Amino acid sequence: MFKKFLVSAIVMLFLAACGIGNTNTTYNRAQIGRRGTTSVGRIVEMTQIDIAGTDSGVGTAAGALSGGIVGGALTASPHHRRFSPGRGAVNALGIIGGAVAGGVAGNLAERAITRDTAFEFLVERPDGSVISIVQTNELGLREGDKVIMVEIDGTTRIRRKVGGYYAQ
């Protein structure tokens, strides 16, 4: 029973951590059907950047829970019905130690799993001004590409401009 619970908890942690992240082609539900503004530009420079992993507390909590259970199981008396002086303290220390170690390990795992890379795109507008947009690059954008910038609710994404009028 204990092993099934532990395996289930670990699987749920990893599935939660592997969800779809923020990409330039992913929208949240609140943005669907919302009107956005568009403008055009040209990518003049792009630089790969690192995105730090999240520290939401989910990894720490899941790790602490799992570690506490494992620590308690490892230090539990093999004879639950017999009185064993001092065993309760050892078991409590095992639970606490397991929870602390599991919390630290869970936090490190969450940060490593959610770490990512993206690009900072410098986009020149037709008036000569340059703006910076940070996003992932699933679309394979390159320097010199003409792009459309779409802003919805304060989030700006760029995509390659295909056809149509562009005066630059």
CATH number of the domain that residue 164 is part of: 2.40.50.590
Mean pLDDT score of the chain: 77
Q: What span, in angstroms and rounded, lies between the C-alpha atoms of 91 and 2?
A: 16
Query: Are 123 and 105 found together in one domain?
Result: no
Inform me whether the pLDDT recorded for 130 exceeds 70.
Answer: yes
Residue 96 and residue 15 share a domain: yes
pLDDT, position 104:
84
Higher pLDDT, 44 or 7: 44
For the cut 50, the answer to whether the pLDDT of residue 81 exceeds it is: no
State the total domains in the chain: 2
Neighbours of 59 (CB within 10 A): 27
Same domain, yes or no: 67 and 109: yes
88 and 10 within one domain: yes
In three state form, how does the secondary structure of 81-110 look? CCCCCCHHHHHHHHHHHHHHHHHHHHHHHH
| pLDDT above 90: residue 41 | yes
**Would you state the structure tokens that stand for residue 83, as one six-digit string?**
């009185």
The pLDDT score that the predictor gives to residue 28 is 65
Q: Do residues 66 and 17 both lie within one domain?
A: yes
Average of per-residue pLDDT across 49-55: 78
Residue 68, token pair as written in the block: 């506490």
Residue 38: beta bridge partners? Answer: 150
Q: Pick 23 or 155 by higher pLDDT.
A: 155
Under the banding of pLDDT at 50, 70 and 90, the label for residue 129 is very high
Residues 102, 132: one domain?
no
| Statement to judge: residues 92 and 106 lie in one domain | yes
Let me know whether 79 and 11 are in one domain. yes
